[in-house]
Amino acid sequence: MTWSDFEQAVALERDTLLRAMPIIPPTSSGVRRAVLDPADGSVRAFVTAGDVMGATPDGCVALLRIRPLLFGAAWKIADLFLEEAVTLAGETPDQRRGFSIERKRALARAQVGTPAFLPADIWKATALTYDGTALLRNSLVHQLVYVDSSDSLVGHDSNGGKLRPLTADEQEAFVHLALRLVEAAHQQQIDPRTDGDLRAQLARLKGIHKESLAGAVKLVPVPELTVVLDLGPDGSSYLLDVPDVRSRSPFKGDQYCDLVLQFRDRPGLILQPHLGVVASAFVVGAAGSGLAASAEA
């Protein structure tokens, strides 16, 4: 497997988690968004009210009480992330069908396979969180869990003993941790914004991994700019003129802006690089089954 294989394997879970529990949730004042279409020179900016009839993602999650299902989807992401990391580190499966959970837990406790794009302390806390939630995940799979009055997820071990409850806040932090791991694997690096948020999510999970991480940064809602791209004359790539996007963005006064790339000839397909870290030109190759992005000076 490769990190690209990992991304494809968790695509459905990632999409579900992003819709249900976005990393930076909308606020009651709304979410600022804009669409820039270079083809016609237009920029359409708008604000969506995040709390119309209580229909924020958080509100829907609370109403439907689906945090346990989201935790299960996030755990699958963490499981496959760790499996890819230890495989690339040269570890071999202990079973014909692959790595057993117990083998992966042992490797996690030993912090084997630190990805090159993750700081060692973040990997250690992530691996220990994986290990520390494995029994609860097993309990969830075998329907031996319940949600108490505080929305904590309570499970049982194989002997029927009660496991440490996972609070609602910890369930949400675990979801956001999983989403950040997918993002890091895609970009093969983490910028200061992602680094700070990973530390913030792991700080919420300290009761599980017991590690102390400095540098946590609580993120605030940021605007989202969608750019529509057309296939270039060569028929094999799309070119994004980042300076032009920055100059025409209605969010120039904001420290961060989430960039969403849409492809006119590929409905439903998007890329989400960070506008703050891409170079002056961004080439997106259309060859093959997927899209490969590279920066050009």
pLDDT of residue 290: 40
* pLDDT single digits (tens) 265-290: 887 677 766 555 444 444 444 443 34
Percentage of the chain beyond pLDDT 90 is 51
Q: What is the pTM of this model?
A: 0.74
pLDDT of residue 291: 42
By C-alpha distance, which of 31, 16, 19 is closest to 225? 31
* pLDDT single digits (tens) 221-249: 778 888 888 888 888 788 888 888 888 88
Which residue did the predictor score with more confidence, 161 or 31?
161
Instruction: List Cα–Cα distances, 68 to 144, 204, 215, in angstroms.
Output: 12, 17, 29
pLDDT of residue 28: 46
By C-alpha distance, which of 218, 219, 222 is closest to 32? 222
pLDDT of residue 53: 42
pLDDT of residue 294: 39
Please, which residues have CB within 8 angstroms of residue 260's CB and are 6 or more apart in sequence? 224, 225, 226, 227, 270, 271, 272
Q: Return the structure tokens found at 279.
A: 């170079």
**Average pLDDT, integer, range 287-296:** 39
pLDDT of residue 181: 96
The amino acid that residue 95 corresponds to is Q
pLDDT of residue 17: 92
Which residue did the predictor score with more confidence, 215 or 51?
215
Q: Is the pLDDT of residue 129 over 90?
A: yes
Measured CA to CA, the distance from residue 273 to residue 96 in angstroms comes to 37
Highest mean pLDDT pick, 17-26, 61-70, 121-130, 143-152 = 121-130
pLDDT of residue 48: 58
Mean pLDDT check: name the lowest of 4-8, 21-25, 111-115, 226-230: 21-25
Assign 32 a pLDDT band (cuts: 50, 70, 90).
confident
The whole-chain average pLDDT of the chain stands at 83
With beta carbons less than 8 A apart as the criterion, state whether 279 and 247 touch: no
What strands lie across the sheet with 292-296, from one edge to the other? 237-241, 281-285, 292-296
CB atoms within 10 A of CB 130: 25
* pLDDT single digits (tens) 183-198: 999 989 998 888 999 9
By C-alpha distance, which of 224, 227, 225, 223 is closest to 262? 227
